[in-house]
């Protein structure tokens, strides 16, 4: 049985708490490794070491810090296959999807190579007689990230890449369900030239999370996960005086107008709803066709597409559409919600409850499910299922469809499929959701824009990656400077008026 480690001061360090978590192979259901769960003392020691290393890193000029990120990008490309295989082995997603996970993190690291420009301050010459004003962006010190199981490469890089190039030291607490890739990323950063102690990877559970939130040295915390935990982390972190950004759950609607290309919309729904077994915060989980004729045409196209989906382990080849969910508990929760949907009156037009994969009967595979005639009061509509389940809510007008998306408590992402520019522009302007797709099913912004939802999908005032990340991981210091020349006029006892 493989025993994993923490990463502290540039090397792998065995856990000392005596507590471990099981790391499963989701395809087989077998335990393939044990991961140490850090104690408060272990977390605090890693933070103290990071705090000792950070001042020298923070004083390193931004161009040199950016060169570390440049080399890191090269190493990510070199080891792409190795990283993807490790990711698929612990998470269960297909190899192409795993490579996409790494790639979207890599793109944020690429953006961070521009740190010398992004960290430039502002300057005003002669704001007053002989007075100049300018600002500096300076690192916070030691910051932390608590990241989820569903993107074990991408989201850690979304967090630590901008934090590091801003001059901070970073404490990463990855998901204990698939911890190997974050440890591999730490190794690559060391190879790229990152000084020891600047990135610490501490595996753990709630005890480690609370230690992060309570440690007075840590100045900022970023989190991605479920909304209840996001609310908890945001509240406790802010109460302890930290800068906190938390991204929570989602229930992303895709509105299909009568003028949409139905085949294009159906293909988009299959990819966005069932890719990665639905374990994406940007997955489309609600289809909203406008009009019964639109709904009938959409369902007619979805059924044969879902019946042809290939579900299997990542080792079965690149034509596998999606793999298992991450744990047996996740599988049981999906099946429970499906049963609830049936009991509450939704029509299950594609039933994946009896799905079983020969040779992998103990794996955490879930067949595709498609519901029709779902209503907003049903559990399958209100709750985030995080599985391969698509709910169809029929709307009779555009305004009714828009209201469904706007009235839901989550506001992460949404999409509309239409050929009408007026409708698309109105939707984008009015909907109260953070990320909008127009004929794009999963509107995840590229690295040089920012990622973030609204309502109960996000807590905090700044988004992930893009320019907001550089604002989140730095403090602005503003300097007013006067260099007197000529004859001094003596002391002044009042605020001098600006001329």
Judge whether 214 and 188 are in contact, CB under 8 Å.
Answer: no
Q: Tokens standing for 19? A: 């507590």
Q: Are 209 and 173 in contact (CB under 8 A)?
A: yes
The catalytically annotated residue of 112, 166, 246, 281 is 281
Is 238 among the residues known to form the active site?
no
Which residue, chain included where needed, has tokens 């490790």? 86
Strands 11-13 and 6-8, bridge-based pairing: antiparallel
Q: 239: burial class by Cβ within 10 Å (0-12, 13-18, 19+)?
A: exposed
**CB-side exposure of 155: number of CA atoms within 13 Å?**
26
Catalytic (active-site) positions: 281
């Amino acid at each position: 049985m493989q025993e994993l480690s923490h990463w502290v001061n540039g090397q792998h360090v065995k856990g000392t708490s005596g507590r471990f978590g099981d790391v499963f192979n989701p395809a087989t259901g077998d335990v393939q490794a044990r991961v140490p769960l850090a104690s408060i003392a272990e977390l605090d020691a890693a933070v103290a070491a990071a705090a000792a290393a950070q001042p020298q890193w923070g004083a390193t000029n931004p161009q040199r810090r950016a060169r570390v990120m440049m080399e890191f990008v090269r190493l990510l490309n070199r080891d792409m296959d190795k990283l993807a295989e490790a990711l698929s082995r612990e998470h269960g997603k297909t190899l192409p999807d795993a490579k996409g996970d790494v790639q979207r993190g890599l793109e944020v690291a690429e953006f961070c190579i521009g740190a010398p420009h992004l960290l430039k301050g502002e300057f005003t010459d002669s704001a007053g007689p002989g007075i100049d004003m300018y600002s500096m962006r300076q690192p916070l010190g030691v910051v932390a990230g608590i990241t989820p199981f569903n993107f074990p490469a991408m989201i850690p890089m979304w967090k630590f890449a901008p934090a590091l190039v801003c001059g901070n030291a970073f404490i990463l607490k990855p998901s204990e369900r698939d911890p190997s890739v974050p440890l591999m990323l730490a190794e690559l950063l060391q190879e790229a030239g990152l000084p020891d102690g600047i990135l610490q990877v501490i595996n753990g559970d709630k005890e480690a999370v609370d230690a992060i939130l309570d440690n007075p040295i840590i100045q900022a915390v970023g989190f991605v996960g479920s909304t209840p935990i996001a609310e908890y982390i945001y509240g406790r972190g802010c109460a302890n005086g930290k800068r906190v950004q938390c991204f929570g759950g989602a229930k992303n609607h895709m509105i299909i107008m009568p003028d949409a290309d139905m085949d294009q919309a159906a293909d988009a729904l299959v990819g966005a709803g069932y890719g990665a077994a639905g374990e994406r915060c940007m997955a489309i989980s609600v289809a909203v066709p406008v009009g019964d004729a639109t709904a009938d045409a959409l369902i007619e196209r979805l059924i044969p597409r879902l019946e042809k989906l290939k579900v299997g382990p990542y080792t079965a080849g690149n034509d596998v559409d999606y793999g298992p969910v991450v744990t047996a508990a996740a599988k049981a929760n999906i099946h429970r919600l499906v049963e609830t949907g049936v009991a509450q009156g939704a029509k299950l037009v594609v039933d994946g409850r009896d799905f079983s994969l020969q040779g992998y009967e103990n794996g955490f595979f879930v067949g595709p499910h498609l519901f029709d005639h779902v209503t907003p009061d049903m559990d399958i509509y209100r709750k985030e299922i995080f599985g391969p389940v698509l709910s169809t809510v029929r709307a009779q007008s555009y305004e009714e469809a828009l209201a469904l998306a706007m009235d839901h408590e989550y506001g992460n992402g949404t999409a509309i499929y239409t050929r009408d520019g007026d409708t698309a522009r109105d939707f984008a302007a009015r909907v109260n959701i953070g990320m909008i797709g127009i004929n794009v099913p999963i509107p995840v912004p590229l690295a040089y824009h920012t990622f973030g939802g609204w309502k109960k999908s996000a807590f905090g005032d700044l988004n992930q990656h893009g320019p907001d990340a550089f604002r989140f991981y730095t403090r602005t210091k503003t300097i007013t400077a006067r260099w007197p020349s000529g004859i001094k006029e003596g002391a002044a006892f009042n605020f001098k008026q600006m001329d």
